[in-house]
Chain A
Amino acid sequence: NAGVTQTPKFRILKIGQSMTLQCTQDMNHNYMYWYRQDPGMGLKLIYYSVGAGITDKGEVPNGYNVSRSTTEDFPLRLELAAPSQTSVYFCASRGNQPQHFGDGTRLSIL
């Protein structure tokens, strides 16, 4: 099925470890986004991209990095995991229609 695919679905990290959350879309969308959702809260924009090679910060970018080498992929990198980064992370893409979301990655940092 066409859509946004996020891997892994779940992950537990130790403080100070690093990891990359993967996001791939097969809809040839130019726009891609990373959000985090903390318990009981709405989604907050971390980073976004308007096309391959172009990225920009959102509302809460500290502690994260992104890259966009292809139209399909938009990985999110955590370099030094901190407990405050425990959250559910959603990737989204957009063409001419509203943003289409993946099913999320639940990340716990202990």
Chain B
Amino acid sequence: DQQVKQNSPSLSVQEGRISILNCDYTNSMFDYFLWYKKYPAEGPTFLISISSIKDKNEDGRFTVFLNKSAKHLSLHIVPSQPGDSAVYFCAASTNAGNMLTFGGGTRLMVKP
């Protein structure tokens, strides 16, 4: 039973446009959510996080939105750049980021 799901395996976006990556979860006990970015042959790198007491967190071009009632979060990248092309993982935790449950990832391709 997947507690964290990323239903879009891939997404293609034109450079300069907005990229929207989505994530759904089933466990209402999750209280901390993170996005990681992964390039080939490298480990995941932390991108942005959000606590369940907030509905939005912004860091430069990256914004994460949390809709607790829908058990849904999304990552917006504006404007998208070719260097953003990577696999993005959504992750969730019930204990402030100690043990993470990951989604299956979405491969983002930003075309020049």
Contact = CB atoms under 8 A, between A and B. Distances in A.
Interface string A32-73: 000100001111110010100000001000000000000000
Interface in A75-110: 90, 92, 94, 97-104
B46 A42 contact: no
Contact of B104 (A31, A35, A40, A90): A40
A104 B45 CA distance: 12
Interface stretch (B12-20, B52-60, B71-79, B94-102): B94-102
Nearest to A4: B43
Interface in B20-58: 34, 36, 41-46, 49
Contacts of B6: 42
B45 A101 contact: yes
Interface residues of B, number: 22
Contacts of B103: 42
Contact of A104 (B43, B49, B102): B43
Give the interface SS of chain A, mostly helix, strand, loop or mixed. Answer: strand
A58 B99 contact: yes
Contacts of A98: 34, 46, 49, 97
Interface of B: 4, 6, 9, 34, 36, 41-46, 49, 89, 97-105
21 contacts: A40-B9, A40-B105, A41-B105, A42-B103, A42-B104, A42-B105, A43-B100, A44-B102, A48-B99, A90-B43, A92-B43, A94-B97, A98-B34, A98-B97, A99-B46, A99-B100, A101-B43, A101-B44, A101-B45, A102-B43, A103-B43
